[in-house]
């Protein structure tokens, strides 16, 4: 499936060509994409939310608030998308886009976007040829958006000429080509660790941490999107690997993760250790549930095997990436870990940065090598994964 794991946000404006989007949604879904549909209020006159939500398997939004009062967060919708497709894009919506007008959910989401935007205009012949439309299309291209030109043919007005929205198969092909052009890791094998580890105290209790695995899974998806074969070794996590190039192995404890990592480590090209591995584990695991008999309980802990340090010691051809989550002396501690564990680069998170760290959809990182420090702004974890792999690829070319 050529669009496996891609998130496509389709924004429909109020034009007769809106009915064609039903065919496009079906095509995207068949090719493995997830599709979210937004509509301008006027678009509801041309195609129903029920039809679009049935095909996309997701609720369709046209207002900032749903009928039950739930806020449809335009920022989250924009961050979710790998691409935004404005189709059909009417003259009215186009003019608002390029002039910063924001009076509906579609436009608010568009103005919050950090991903590529594709515009497929559709309007009558004279409207398409009007100097204001020409200027607005040029402005949109100046913004970095990709235009999918209107096609020639019979129009709803009865006139014949340029103005028809590009056919669904044409739009689909352009989106596919966009995604397939970035296969920079084809032929590479990438090992990624993700999530926490749980160290058993007794049959029902454990020592763990708040890691969700979101960052590691985002890196795995992005590496797979770039053509890599991905071996993802995850501790307990609710995250799901969706790409067919990802081979996932679920483990629980640090010792299990250690064993699984070194089943594959010697044969990989890139290893990214994003898992939050527990440093210590109970020396003895009670065979039965420990009863609450005393006012205090003492548990003796012993060090777990240091997976990342061992990866550094056994490193041959692998490009090795570590993570450091710090609360104080962040850069100094990260540099120490970089050297001590023989890493090629380290990704630094600080819990003092709002929006960074465990569980959330965003992260803020710094990347350190032995001779450089690169600071990134707060981004979605999907965008952070792209920054990280871009940096890896640049370093490997040196």
CA distances from 374 to 331, 346, 367, 377 (A): 11, 11, 5, 10
Which residues are CB-neighbours of 92 under 8 A, at least 6 positions away?
Answer: 13, 14
Token pair 């291209």: residue: 141
Per-residue burial over 52-84, b if 16 or more Cβ lie within 10 Å, else e, is beebbeeebbbeeeeeeeeebbbeebbbbbbbb
- Among the listed residues 72, 73, 92, 209, the single catalytic one is 209
DSSP letters spanning 24-74: HHHHHHHTT-EEEEEE-GGGGGTS-HHHHHHHHTS--B-SSB-TTS-B--H
Given a contact cutoff of 8 angstroms between Cβ atoms, the answer to whether 385 and 221 are in contact is yes
Pick from 33, 359, 66, 56: which is nearest to 178 by CA?
A: 33
Bridge pairing between strands 117-121 and 345-350: unpaired
Query: Strand order of the sheet with strand 189-194?
Result: 246-250, 229-234, 189-194, 270-273, 319-326, 345-350, 366-369, 372-375
How far out from the chain centre does Cα 181 lie?
18
**What are 49's two structure tokens?**
């939310």
Active site residue 209: yes
Helix, strand, coil percentages, rounded to 5, for the chain: 35, 25, 40
Find the largest Cα–Cα distance for the chain: 87
355 dihedral zone (left: phi>0; alpha: psi -120 to 50; beta) = left
Give the residue numbers marked as catalytic: 209
């Amino acid at each position: 499936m050529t669009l496996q794991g891609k998130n496509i946000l389709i924004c429909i404006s109020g034009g007769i060509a809106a009915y064609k989007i039903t065919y496009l949604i079906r095509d995207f879904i068949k090719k493995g994409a997830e599709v979210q549909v937004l509509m301008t209020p006027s678009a509801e006159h041309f195609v129903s939310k029920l039809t679009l939500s049935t095909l996309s398997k997701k609720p369709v939004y046209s207002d900032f608030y749903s009928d039950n009062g739930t806020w449809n967060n335009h920022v989250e919708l924009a961050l979710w998308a790998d691409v935004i497709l404005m189709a059909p894009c009417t003259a009215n919506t186009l003019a608002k886009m390029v002039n910063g007008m924001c009076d509906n959910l579609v436009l608010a989401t568009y103005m919050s976007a950090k991903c590529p935007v594709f515009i497929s205009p559709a309007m009558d012949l004279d409207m398409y040829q009007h100097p204001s439309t020409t200027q607005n299309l040029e402005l949109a291209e100046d913004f970095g958006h990709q235009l999918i030109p209107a096609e020639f043919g019979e129009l709803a007005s009865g006139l014949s000429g340029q103005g028809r929205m590009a056919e669904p198969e044409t739009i689909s092909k352009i989106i596919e080509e966009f995604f397939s052009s970035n296969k920079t890791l084809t032929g590479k094998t990438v090992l990624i660790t993700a999530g926490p580890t749980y160290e058993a105290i007794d049959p029902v209790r454990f020592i763990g941490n708040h890691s969700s695995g979101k960052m590691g899974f985002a890196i795995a998806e992005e590496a797979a999107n770039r053509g890599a074969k991905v071996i993802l070794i995850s501790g307990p996590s609710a995250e799901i690997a969706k790409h067919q190039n990802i081979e996932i192995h679920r483990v629980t404890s640090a010792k299990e993760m250690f064993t699984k990592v070194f089943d594959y480590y010697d044969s990989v090209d890139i290893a990214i250790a994003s898992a939050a591995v527990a440093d210590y584990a109970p020396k003895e695991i009670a065979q039965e549930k420990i009863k609450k008999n005393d006012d205090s309980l003492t548990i003796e802990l012993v060090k777990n095997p240091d997976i990342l340090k061992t990866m550094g010691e056994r490193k041959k051809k692998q490009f090795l990436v570590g993570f450091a989550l710090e609360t104080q002396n962040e850069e100094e501690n990260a540099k120490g870990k970089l050297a001590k564990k023989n890493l090629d680069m380290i990704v630094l998170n600080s819990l003092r940065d709002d929006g960074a760290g465990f569980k959330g959809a965003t992260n803020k990182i710094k990347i350190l090598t032995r001779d450089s420090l690169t600071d990134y702004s707060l981004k979605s974890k999907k965008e952070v994964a792209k920054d990280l792999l871009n940096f890896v690829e640049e370093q490997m070319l040196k």
